Amino acid sequence: MTEPSPDPLFGDFMDGDAARLQRVRILPDARPGALQLHLPDGESVIDWPLSDLRLIPDQADHSVCVLGLDGDHPARLIIADDALAARLRQLCPALTRRHRDPGIVKRLMILSAAAVSSVALIIFVLVPLMADQLANLLPSEGERALGEATFEQIRTSLGGGRLGIDLCSSPGGDRALQTIADRLKPYTDFPYDIRFHILDHKMVNAFALPGGHIVLFDGLLKDVQSPEELAGIIAHEMGHIEHRDPSRLTLRSAGSIGVLGLLLGDFAGGTVVLFLSERLIQANYSRGAEAAADRYAYEVLAGAGLPSSRMGDFFLRLMAGDEGDGGLSSHLSTHPENRARVDAAIAADVTGGNYTPVLTSAEWARLRGICK
Ligand SMILES: [Zn+2]
């Protein structure tokens, strides 16, 4: 039996001079006492002495292993292969020896003084990996501020002008929305009050932002046929909020700059700004996240004694293509499998048609007329 030739091993390498990752072939056995890295140009070879290899600590994502050299050398090697990472742990006695254990403030000071490439590694590679964890760790005030900052950006970008799109508000309309939220809230479990924003825009859409913000478009208020239908849509958005879907989406979309801003405590400042609007408006969550938000909505509606079959009315109209003319694809209309959702909404209805309406007809009229 011949020894099978081992599979080639690869990692991502940043040389410390340029802010880019290169796919390198890793040869652990080519030279005794060294890890040999073959660069993609086919010629350059770098030897890293095993005794100088260090694991870069404080990684958010434990599915990858980031290696550097002892001292302040800025080069980094990222290894996603568990077997190789385990092997390196064996080969390198000093791998986990920490040369520093900085707190977050100190780390940022080091960061600002470090070589450009080290900063780039953190920004382009490590920080995005932290977005999901961060979404779960954000304090509720942080989520709230993040939601406010992103809302302002969305409003500005939808308006196309300097001032942004108009917000609608009226005492009667605002009170009616609060009445719907108050009816649903006892059956939810998130730590903040819902804050509604009505945008004077004809898109038939609604979406949630981090920290309990729900954005409704005037086009949706004009399209829905009953306050219970609207309550169903609000309950669905509450599901996204409780599951922290908007926070994850925002942090992923904001990318490194946004996440760094959060690490710096800059929840509402200028750093959390990039490329957010369209992605958040469309709110393309996974099918699983949408189904979970639907189930959540049905439970909340059942708790509140409201008919989930009214939500089915909305899905039916979406299927019929009656989606308005918003010009932007909307979160609600891009939901998959509307037919199945109609059936599920009807099946989940526990009221048997007997329920106390969520709004009086006068309240409903005031709400629908909230944008003049
Ligand atoms: Zn949804």
Q: How far is the CA of 162 from the centre of ligand 1 (A)?
A: 30
pTM strictly above 0.75: no
What are the counts of helices (DSSP H) followed by strands (DSSP E) for the chain? 15, 11
What is the longest distance spanned by two Cα atoms in the chain? 86
pLDDT score at 297: 96
**Domain coordinates of the chain in residue numbers?**
9-129, 135-368
- With bands split at pLDDT 50, 70 and 90, how would you rate the model's confidence at 336? low
Q: How far is the CA of 332 from the centre of ligand 1 (A)?
A: 6
Looking at domain 9-129, which CATH architecture does it have? Roll (2.30)
Q: How many CA atoms lie within 13 A of 133 on its CB side?
A: 10
Q: How far is the CA of 285 from the centre of ligand 1 (A)?
A: 7
Q: How far is the CA of 181 from the centre of ligand 1 (A)?
A: 17
Q: How far is the CA of 295 from the centre of ligand 1 (A)?
A: 11
Q: How far is the CA of 240 from the centre of ligand 1 (A)?
A: 7
Q: What is the pLDDT of residues 251-283, one digit of tens each?
A: 777 665 566 565 555 444 444 444 455 566 666
When the pLDDT of each residue in the chain is averaged and rounded to a whole number, the result is 78
Q: How far is the CA of 50 from the centre of ligand 1 (A)?
A: 50
Q: How far is the CA of 368 from the centre of ligand 1 (A)?
A: 22
Q: How far is the CA of 186 from the centre of ligand 1 (A)?
A: 21
Of 97, 95, 127, 94, nearest to 111 by C-alpha is 127
- With bands split at pLDDT 50, 70 and 90, how would you rate the model's confidence at 48? confident
For 12, 13, 80, 83, 130, the CA distances from 77, given in Å and listed in that order, are: 6, 5, 10, 15, 18
> What does 287-322 look like in DSSP terms, one character per residue?
HHHHHHHHHHHHHHHHHTT--THHHHHHHHHHHTT-
Q: How far is the CA of 229 from the centre of ligand 1 (A)?
A: 15
- With bands split at pLDDT 50, 70 and 90, how would you rate the model's confidence at 29? confident
| Tokens 């829905």 found at | 224
Q: How far is the CA of 260 from the centre of ligand 1 (A)?
A: 27
pLDDT score at 260: 59
Measure CA 48 to chain center: 37
Ion ligand 1 — residues with CB < 5 Å: 290, 293
- With bands split at pLDDT 50, 70 and 90, how would you rate the model's confidence at 40? confident
- Residue with the larger pLDDT of the pair 134 and 185: 185
Q: How far is the CA of 164 from the centre of ligand 1 (A)?
A: 25
pLDDT score at 43: 83
pLDDT score at 328: 46
Distance CA(200)–CA(113), nearest Å, equals 46
Distance CA(252)–CA(73), nearest Å, equals 29
- Residue with the larger pLDDT of the pair 369 and 48: 369
- Residue with the larger pLDDT of the pair 319 and 357: 357
Q: What does the pLDDT average to over 285-308?
A: 93
Least confidently predicted of 3-17, 132-146, 174-188: 3-17
Q: How far is the CA of 303 from the centre of ligand 1 (A)?
A: 20
Q: How far is the CA of 293 from the centre of ligand 1 (A)?
A: 6
Give the rounded percent of residues in the chain with a pLDDT score beyond 70: 70
- Residue with the larger pLDDT of the pair 144 and 121: 144
Q: What does the pLDDT average to over 169-189?
A: 96
Res. 368: pLDDT tops 70: yes
